Structure 1
Amino acid sequence: MNSPEIIQLLENLKAVDESTRSQATAKLWQLWFEQKGELGLELLKRAQFLLESGEVEKAEKLLTKTIKSYPDFAEAWNRRAVLYFTQEQYEKSKGDCERVVQLVPYHFGAWHGLGLCLTALGNYYEAIGAFRQALAIQPHALINQKLILECTALLN
């Protein structure tokens, strides 16, 4: 996933022009979701539908099965991290976020999610580090700047 296209998209995340940044952000998410083709995308959509329908256990089982079938499918790990986070299972979510950033070190969404998990667990120093990683990739993402400030305030 370190193609010339990805390198250009990562550069575009740093652009002054908001439209350029938005397009790069959307394209990266698209690439992550479509990493395993139509089948992978369909599995993620099905899991999201189950989650939105309140069938959390079924969504978790589908994502876990998807991860077992495609252990390098970063977005399946990320979707399960989101599911765990919404269920306040912060340690599990943290572990999945860590796996995502091992697979895709420039996954700003997983770095952000990792920061949220660490914040929820009271690990503010580590959370600041994760938000800084997200910010290094997406420097105009004001939410990460805000969260760094909030975590810094919680250290005092």
Structure 2
Amino acid sequence: MLDDLFARLRDATAPAEMEALQDGIWQIWLSAGHPLLDKRLETGIRALSADDYGLAIREFTFLIETAPDYAEGWNKRATAYYLRGEYKAALRDVRETLRREPRHFGALSGQATILRMLGDARGALRPLLRLEQLCPAWPGLQLQLRSLRNGLGEDLG
């Protein structure tokens, strides 16, 4: 099912269609596959919404320790670290997310954002190019790519 949604996302051009496909993918990703893990994920997401990043990190760490192959546990903890300003920890968790789910568009987008914030334009370009392979019509993607390429100038060769 996930492969089919990604195949359709790659060809989608209408914003409403892309949003519906992304929502379907998120529904799959947001299921940890066990009621206890789903509850901990939900608690962590609520903590993120309440700006309680410490609690969120503890909940997502529990997910990671209990189900280390569950990519979304890593992605959510990366988000919590990012929001808390711990960019290196966030990047580590993004890398773990992408090891488990290389198509994770949220992690790719987040990785590009953090790398750009840290002044690594060339590094930010890589995840955006991967995102372009997943969904060339991703809103704002072409503008971001053009901006990064222009900033790199002749270095792109």
User: Fold conserved (TM > 0.5)?
Assistant: yes
After TM superposition, the structure 1 stretch with the greater mean CA deviation from structure 2, 107-116 or 31-40, is 31-40
Q: Secondary structure at the match of 1:59?
A: helix
Q: Structure 1: how far apart are the matches of 2:144 and 2:15?
A: 21
Instruction: Provide the residue aligned with 1:93 in structure 2.
Output: 90
Partner of 1:51: 48
Matched, 1:141 2:127: no
Does 2:60 correspond to 1:63? yes
SS of the aligned residue for 2:140 comes to: helix
Task: Indicate the residue corresponding to 1:9 in structure 2.
Answer: 5
Q: TM-score, structure 2 length as denominator?
A: 0.87
Q: Is the 8 A contact 2:2 2:28 kept in 1?
A: no
**TM-score, length-scaled by structure 1:** 0.87
Question: Percent identity at matched positions?
Answer: 24
Structure 2: gaps (5+ residues): none
Partner in structure 2 of residue 121 of structure 1 = 118
Structure 1 CA distance, aligned partners of 2:134 and 2:116? 20
CA distance in 2, matches of 1:121, 1:44: 29
Q: 1:112-133 deviations in whole A, cap 9, x for unaligned?
A: 1111111111111010111111
| Distance (whole Å) between structure 2 residues aligned to residue 98 and residue 144 of structure 1 | 20
- Separation in structure 1 between the aligned mates of residue 146 and residue 37 of structure 2, nearest angstrom: 37
The residue type paired with residue 126 of structure 2 is: G
Q: CA RMSD in A?
A: 1.7
1:85-113 CA-to-partner distances (Å, cap 9, x unmatched) read: 11221111111111111101111111111
Larger displacement relative to structure 2 (10-19 or 105-114): 10-19
Counterparts of 2:62 and 2:56, CA distance in 1: 10
Give the equivalent residue in structure 1 for 2:27. Answer: 30
Q: Displacement, 1:17?
A: 4.2
- Give the length in aligned residue pairs: 152
| CA distance 1:16–1:153, shift in 2 (3 Å) | closer
CA contact (8 A) 2:60 2:77 kept: yes
- For the 8 Å contact 2:72–2:97, the answer to whether it is kept is yes
Moved more, 29-38 or 120-129: 29-38
